[in-house]
Structure 1
Amino acid sequence: MNPTVTAVRAGVRRGVIELRNTFTNAQDLWNYFFPTAVLLVAMFFMRGSTVPGTDFSLGARALPSTIGMGLIFGGLLGLSQQLIVDREDGTLLRAKATPNGMLGYLIGKIVLISAVSLIGVVLQLTPGLFFLDGIRLGDPGAWLTLAWVVPLGLVATLPLGAVVGSLIENPRNMGLVVLPIFGLIALSGIFYPINGLPGWLQGVAQVFPVYWLGLGMRSALLPADLAAVELGGSWRHLETLGVLGAWAVLGLVLAPVVLRRMARRESGSRVAARRERAMQRVG
């Protein structure tokens, strides 16, 4: 059998096993459910407010945006954190030591993070349907849009997560990534339309995938007339496809190069040094 096919199959099995294990881990379950609960509570209290110029619930408008935000967190931060932790405890070194082990490892992580992200979509969307009006899941067009926005969003963010995880060795340095992402969320219209921001800030927001994932999810789940409050007065599907596609291509080009460089540098002495630093932090 082709070694690459074998590695891919092993990676898929690894991802399924890790997914099953993560749902038996209390800390992982807390990390999945608590942020979702906080967001749903926020949208519950926002449901009485309306989008400026309309009578549509601001909470209902925010729900698709936060689902897009969840895909960003899962694809970018989730995979990068997994890589950093596994590099520190020697998991990556063990994967490197086996034939096509890195490929199997990465396939497993992609399966895990993609599945967790999709489950997060369901966890946010299902309760929101009970107290937020206007979500159009009964429209076949909504499902068609979701069918390309969600996978494209994952492809645009997972390779970037791999790049970030390869470049950062110390888990405590994740703040260098988390803080800029929170800044982009504030600029990207996740909770409130960005039409009132200065033009240059609107331009900055539109460079990054956070805005476009939120817009794509809103175009799938909100009524067509809500496009009037977006920049340009439309859902801009072609622009969404173009920007997310560009980020996907960039990530797919960079990730293999950075990952190979990171794998070459891994050694037992580097793992031991990281473990010693981790013990010193704990002590």
Structure 2
Amino acid sequence: MRRGWTELRQTFTTGQDLFGHALWTVLLIVPLLLLRDEPLKGAGISLGAFMLPSMMGMTLAFTGLMTTAQLLATEREDGTLLRAKAVPHGMVGYLVGKIIMVSGTALVSMALALAAGVFLVDGVAREGGGALLTLVWVVPLGLLASLPIGAVIGSLVASPRAIGLLMLPVMGMVVISGIYFPLSKLPEWLQTVGQVFPVYWLGLGLRSALLPAGAVAAEIGDSWRHLETAAVLGGWAVAGLLLAPSVLRRMARRESGAAMEERRWKAMQRVG
């Protein structure tokens, strides 16, 4: 846990990382500003208000999946993982540290977007404590649904550069997950595909917590579907928690000085 807090503190005291967090927040806020006066038909809110909690859910899922995968792939290549493996309980400390650091980063990014959006977009976070209690279970469940899967991806990819190749399918998943417009507006087969992934359910759960009750008219079946949200996110969490330990153990067993030297040699060949 101390390792996680140390990494989190370093992240928020490093200029480059702070710039990245600020830039991400700006990228989230700009479309909200552009669409804050565009009404969402039948829902009684603007399209900007609909997008704010949806983008917060996307941030949580994106950070859990891609940041975890990127960190594992990078630190496997630069030897950090090998050094952790060489000390008693090093892998446990490494993984707990990453969970704390990535979770903290995701929560701060969400909080920044919410703080800015509440003042810029009408109709968000006005329901009081009852509705906001939904955040207490949606956010942790969303982290459990995304962090283990990110760890699996980071364990399986050959190098950090391969993570970039995953951006296209990830962005495709975002487009069909009801982040920028209601999923109910898409063809039924795309609705089915979008509901397979946790991004849609994270967005739905956060919309149910932060938007007025009338906004449910924009959702599939005119319902917030809390039970289905818990079931799908819980299913992804269970699958990830069952799969991640074995994949991570396999990755750790294969780490050695020779393997790291081979990766370094291949990287030098690409540069050459």
Q: State the TM-score, normalizing by the size of structure 1.
A: 0.93
1:82-110 deviation per Cα after TM superposition (whole angstroms, max 9, x unaligned): 10110000000111111221111000000
Q: Which amino acid aligns with 1:122?
A: A
Matched, 1:56 2:45: yes
Gaps of 5+ in 1: 1-11
Q: After superposition, where does 1:5-154 map in structure 2 within 5 Å?
A: 12-137=1-126, 139-154=128-143
C-alpha distance in 2 between matches for 1:282 and 1:135: 49
- Matched residue, 1:8: none
Structure 2: distance between partners of 1:277 and 1:136: 51
Secondary structure of 2:37's aligned partner: coil
Aligned to 1:203: 192
Distance 2:170 2:15 in 1: 26
Amino acid at match of 1:65: S
Distance 1:276 1:25 in 2: 30
Q: Secondary structure at the match of 1:133?
A: coil
TM-score (norm 2): 0.97
Q: Percent identity?
A: 57
Cα 1:278–1:28 change in 2 (3 A) is: farther
Residues 137, 48 of structure 1: alpha-carbon distance in 2 compared, 3 angstrom cutoff: closer
2:37 and 2:269 map into 1 onto residues whose CA distance is 50
After superposition, what is the alpha-carbon deviation per residue over 1:41-63, rounded to whole angstroms, capped at 9, x for unaligned? 11111101111234411101100
Q: Does the 8 A contact of 2:68 with 2:151 survive in 1? A: yes
1:217 aligns with 2:206: yes
The CA distance in 1 between the partners of 2:271 and 2:27, in whole Å, is: 30
Q: For 1:55 and 1:138, how far apart are their aligned partners in 2?
A: 14
Q: Which digits, 9 at most, give the CA deviation of each residue in 1:107-151, with x for residues without a partner?
A: 000000011111011110001111111112551123210000000
What is the aligned length? 272
Question: 2-side partners of 1:281 and 1:82: how far apart?
Answer: 21
Per-residue deviation, 1:281: 4.1
The one-letter amino acid paired with 1:127 is A
Counterpart of 1:262 in structure 2 is 251
**Counterpart amino acid of residue 67 in structure 2:** G
In structure 2, distance between residues paired with 1:272 and 1:137: 56
1:73 Cα deviation (Å)?
1.1
CA contact (8 A) 2:57 2:199 kept: yes
* Pair 1:190 & 2:179 matched: yes
Query: For 1:185 and 1:235, how far apart are their aligned partners in 2?
Result: 19
Which AA in structure 2 matches 1:30?
F
Q: 5+ residue gaps in structure 2?
A: none
Q: Contact 2:42–2:217 at 8 Å: present in 1 too?
A: no
Alpha-carbon separation, structure 2, partners of 1:62 and 1:282: 42
Provide runs of 4+ in structure 1 moved above 6 Å: none
For the 8 Å contact 1:75–1:158, the answer to whether it is kept is yes
**Structure 1 residue 280: Cα displacement:** 4.0
